[in-house]
Amino acid sequence: KSEELELLIQKLDENLKESDILVLAGSIPKGISPDIYKELTARYKEKGVKVFLDADGESFAEGIKAVPYLIKPNIDELSRLAGEKLTDIRGILKAVKPLLQSGIEKIVVSMGAQGAVFIQRGRIFIASSIDVPVLSTVGAGDSMVAALAYGEEKGLDEKKTYKLSMAMGAASVMSSGTQAPKAVTVESLYHMVNIIEL
C-alpha cells in the first residue's frame, strides 16, 4: 500500500466511530488495488460504521462483496454489474434483488432524465427528475449521495431524504463546474420533486 493510503486508513481508524457514515466514492487512483473499497467497507462495518458506496467497474463489483449499507449506482453502472443493458424499473428491480438478499440495506439507482429508484427491503420509491437547465452534470451523483448521508445522519424519514437527494442532484446540474448549489435553490427544487412509493 502507498504511504498516503496508510495515512488515510490511520486517520479513518482514529476518527470513525459506531453509527458514523463513511462515503466511498469515485475512481481508484493508479497503483491502488481495485479491492480497496471492499477492504475499507469490511474494516469499518466491523466498527458499526454505515458505509455508502458509489463507484463503477471492478472497484464497485469488489466493494459490494463486503456488503456496504447503501450503494448508489447509476443505471449504466448497474447494467455493467448485471452484465445486461437495463432500461426500465422491472429490469432494475430484478438486478438489485440479489444485492438486497446479500444484506445491502439501501440501493439508489439514478437514471438521469428518467429520475431515480430508491430501494430498500420491502419498500420501493420512484422519483421523477426535475426539468432544470443543465450547466454541468459533474458531481450530480456525489450531491445525491451527500444528501442521502445528511438524511441518514439527521434521521429524516425515507421520503424526505429521497426528495432531498433528488433536489440536490438537480441543483447540482444547474451549477457550473463543481460549485455547491445554494440552499435556497435546493429548497425550491425540493418542493418540485414528485416521489411515489410502489
- Specify burial of residue 110 (Cβ count, 10 A radius: 0-12, 13-18, 19+): buried
- Specify burial of residue 106 (Cβ count, 10 A radius: 0-12, 13-18, 19+): buried
Q: Which helix (H) or strand (E) holds 123?
A: strand 123-127
> Could you give the residue numbers annotated as active site?
142
3-state secondary structure of 53: strand
Q: Record the cell numbers describing residue 42, joined without a space.
A: 469490511
